Structure 1
Amino acid sequence: MRATFHLKTLTVAIAAFSVASAASAAGLDRSGQDVTAFLQDGLYAEAVYTYIDGDVSGHDNAYIGPDKKAYEQGKKIDDIAESYDFFRYGVKADINDTFSVGILYDEPFGAAADYSGDNNFVARGDLDASVNAISGGKASSAADAGLKIGQLTAGATQAGAAAANFAAQAQTATTPQAAAGFAEQAQAAQTQAQTLAGQAQSLGAAVAAARAEAATTGEGTNVEVRTESVTGILGMKLGENKNFQVYGGPVMQQVQADVALRGIAYGPATGYTTHISSDQDYGWLAGVSYSKPEIALLAALTYRSEIDHSLNIDETYPLVAALGGDPVQGNKIDITTPKSVNFDFQTGVNQTTLATAKVRWVPWTDFAIVPPLYNEVSKRSTGDDKGLPLVSYDEDQWLVELGLAKRLSPALAVTGTVGWDSGAGDPVTSLGPIEGYYSAGLGAKYNLTENWAVSAGGKYLWFGDAQGQIPTKTIVSDFDSNDGYALGVKVSYQAK
Structure 2
Amino acid sequence: MMMRVGTIAAGAAMAVAASTAAHAGGIERTTQSAMLLFAEGNRAELSYGHVNPDLTGTTVDTARVPNVADSFNLPSIGLKMDVSDRVAVALIYDKPFGADILYDPSNIVLGGTIAEAETSALTALAKFQINENVSVFGGLRFQKAEGEITLSGAAYGPASGYNVKLEENWATGYVVGAAYEIPEIAFRLALTYNSEIEHDFDTQENIAPGVTSTTKVKTPQSVNLEFQTGIAEDTLLMASVRWAEHSAFRIKPTAFGRDLVSLEDTTTYTLGVGRRFTPKFAASVSVAYEAPGKELVSPLSPRTGLTAITLGGSYKVSDQVEISGGVSHIWFGDAMPQTGGTARGDFTDNTATAFGLKVAYTF
Greater CA drift, 7-16 or 76-85: 7-16
Decide which structure has greater helix share. Answer: 1
Give, in whole Å, the separation in 1 of the partners of 2:182 and 2:28.
31
In the alignment, which of 3, 6, 10 is matched to residue 4 of structure 2? 6
Quick one: distance in 1 between partners of 2:103 and 2:39? 43
Offset, 1:474: 2.4
> Paired residue for 2:67?
79
2:122 corresponds to which residue? 230
Q: Is 1:475–2:343 an aligned residue pair? A: yes
Q: Which amino acid aligns with 1:288?
A: A
The CA deviation string for residues 405-445 of structure 1, in whole angstroms up to 9 with x for no partner, is 12121111111111012355421100111002100111110
**Corresponding residue number in structure 2 for 1:55:** 54
* 1:211-246 deviation digits (Å, cap 9, x = unpaired): xxxxxxxxx21111111111111111012xx22110
Contact 2:24/2:31, CA 8 A, preserved across alignment:
no
Q: RMSD of aligned C-alpha atoms? A: 1.7
1:400 is the counterpart of 2:269: yes
CA distance in 1, matches of 2:262, 2:228: 35
Q: Which has the larger radius of gyration?
A: 1
CA offsets 1:40-63 (integer angstroms, 9 cap, x no match): 12212211111001111111123x
User: Does 2:96 match 1:108?
Assistant: yes
CA drift of 1:312 comes to: 0.4
Q: TM-score w.r.t. structure 2 length? A: 0.95
> Could you tell me how far 1:473 is from its partner in structure 2?
2.0
Q: How far is 1:334 from its partner?
A: 0.6
- Kindly tell me: are residues 424 and 336 of structure 1, through their superposed partners in 2, closer, same or farther at Cα, counting changes over 3 Å? farther
Residue by residue over 1:99-132, the C-alpha shift from the partner in whole angstroms, topping out at 9 and shown as x without a partner, is: 1111111111111111115323456xxxxxxxxx
Return 5+ residue gaps in structure 1 as ranges. Answer: 63-73, 124-219, 318-325, 376-387
The residue identity in structure 2 corresponding to 1:454 is I
**Match of 2:25?**
26
Q: Name structure 2 gaps, 5 residues minimum.
A: none
Amino acid at match of 1:84: F
Conserved? CA contact 2:200–2:215, under 8 Å: yes
Give the percent of matched residue pairs that are identical in Structure 1 and Structure 2: 33
Q: Spell out the pairing of 1:79-478 with structure 2 (5 A cutoff).
A: 79-116=67-104, 118-121=106-109, 220-239=112-131, 242-317=132-207, 326=208, 329-375=211-257, 388-393=258-263, 395-422=264-291, 425-470=294-339, 472-478=340-346
Rounded to whole Å, the distance in 1 between the matches of 2:162 and 2:110 is 13
For the residue of structure 2 that corresponds to 1:265, the secondary structure is helix
Any idea what SS the aligned residue of 2:68 has?
A: coil
Q: Aligned with 2:37: secondary structure?
A: helix
CA displacement 1:436-479 (0-9 Å, x = unmatched): 21001111100010111011110001011001112x22221110
- 2-side partners of 1:39 and 1:366: how far apart? 31
Q: Distance in 1 between matches of 2:145 and 2:358?
A: 25
More strand by share: 2
Distance 2:330 2:34 in 1: 23
CA contact (8 A) 1:440 1:459 kept: yes
Q: Which amino acid aligns with 1:364?
A: H
Decide whether the 8 Å contact of 1:438 with 1:463 is kept in 2. Answer: yes
CA 246–436 in structure 1, closer or farther in 2 if over 3 Å, else same: same
* One-letter identity of the residue aligned with 2:85: D
Aligned partners of 1:371 and 1:421: how far apart in 2? 31
TM-score (norm 1): 0.70
